[in-house]
Amino acid sequence: MEPTKSTLREVAALFLKLGVTAFGGPAAHIAMMRDEVVHRRRWLSDQEFLDMLGATNLIPGPNSTEMAIHLGYRRAGPRGLLAAGISFIVPAMLIVLALAWVYVRFGTTPTAQWLLYGVKPVIIAVVLQALWGLGRIAVRSLALGLVGLAVLVLYFSGANELVLLVAAGIAVMLAANARLLRGARVMLAAAVVGATVDLAHAASVEVARSPVSLSRLFLMFLKIGSVLYGSGYVLLAFLRGDFVQRLGWLTDQQLLDAIAIGQFTPGPVFTTATFVGYVLGGVPAAILATVGIFLPSFVFVAASHPFIPRMRRSPWAGALLDGVNVASLALMAGVTARLARAAVVDPVTFALALAAALLLIRFRVNSAWLVLGGAAVGWLVHAL
């Protein structure tokens, strides 16, 4: 049935509201969406909502953004898909763009530096909290734990992130479905991961710093949006590998600042791309980076939406997802350890990171408030 204008307006209004108010990361976004579309508006049942959530975990891209796109598609067809996705993304993009302008103009001033001094250790704690919550779900067996450990070791040895994700997914998928090799599942997983080590190292060769190119910037973010599985925080690993190590366009400090801004704002964490683009090339680069990283999500949702029931029941797809998820968590752990060295630099920042982690894990305090608190502590330390 062709959606009416009022239905499209309803979809756009809902996700515009969520795009402005949805703080707290993907899990919080999805909880807010469930409350709105299942309980308040009754667009679909809880089971149908869970089916869509499962589908977002089987395709690359930011889960909460893809949930918005799925729900818009369900409610108002292809035009609803566009209305929901754009309405959810654009508010965060505009807020991040404004903050990026402030950062470029004032980011090197003492005040801004001290604010970020307090925010950065909180961001480390936010990622640790995500690792804690997701790890209990993803690492469900010894075999998955060993695959994750292997990915972490290979990451620290310089292996390419994308190759590690693919290798882990294929290894676990083959092991879980190799019933004739029951006693060798872990060995099979290790063998598949190990066979890719040379390729992974070859793909991770660093290059000398090159001039920023808008076309290359767009293609880099298009690639990331096309292959990135797991939480939005896995974006850290890809950004560091591509823009800090291989291209030399960003420093670790700038990357931490970008993640801090992305966490501070509502909506998708992937709007970190907007910040990175603006820092590297102004408004045109910010727009290209944003379009590049989100465009694949629209394509993947449009292609996968009709097949959700079958995808959900597939043992092959489920096992692939298990492997990719555990590899994603290993990458998150690896990049967090490296970035922590730039964020936790003295007793004050150590105490901030520890306190934020405790509040997040034990009391589930909204991360946006903790980021504001970290900024306030940084300002106070500077003032005193």
CA 375 to CA 56: how far, in whole Å? 33
CA 249 to CA 262: how far, in whole Å? 19
pLDDT digits (tens, 9 = 90+) for 234-256: 788 889 889 998 889 999 888 88
CA angle 234, 239, 243 (to 5 degrees): 170
Which residue from 17, 5, 25 is spatially nearest to 369, judged by alpha carbons?
A: 25
Give the per-residue pLDDT at 112: 66
Higher per-residue pLDDT: 130 or 270 = 270
Structure tokens, 261: 């801004």
Is residue 162 scored above 80 in pLDDT? no
Is residue 5 scored above 90 in pLDDT? no
**Tokens 């060798």 correspond to what residue?**
184
Higher per-residue pLDDT: 154 or 265 = 154
Longest Cα–Cα distance of the chain, Å, equals 67
Higher per-residue pLDDT: 137 or 171 = 171
Give the per-residue pLDDT at 312: 56
In this structure, the number of other CB atoms found within 10 A of the CB of residue 363 comes to: 7
CA 173 to CA 182: how far, in whole Å? 13
pLDDT digits (tens, 9 = 90+) for 298-338: 999 999 888 876 765 788 887 887 888 888 888 888 878 88
Higher per-residue pLDDT: 240 or 229 = 240
Average pLDDT, the chain: 83
Rg of the chain in Å (alpha carbons):
21
CA 87 to CA 94: how far, in whole Å? 11
Give the per-residue pLDDT at 180: 41
Confidence of residue 284 (pLDDT cuts 50, 70, 90): very high
Give the per-residue pLDDT at 184: 47
Which residue from 245, 260, 278, 302 is spatially nearest to 124, judged by alpha carbons?
A: 260
How many angstroms from the chain centroid is the CA of residue 153? 21
Is residue 97 scored above 60 in pLDDT? yes
In this structure, the number of other CB atoms found within 10 A of the CB of residue 131 comes to: 18
Give the residue-averaged pLDDT of 14-28.
82
CA 353 to CA 130: how far, in whole Å? 14
Which residue from 129, 16, 116 is spatially nearest to 358, judged by alpha carbons?
A: 129
Confidence of residue 352 (pLDDT cuts 50, 70, 90): very high
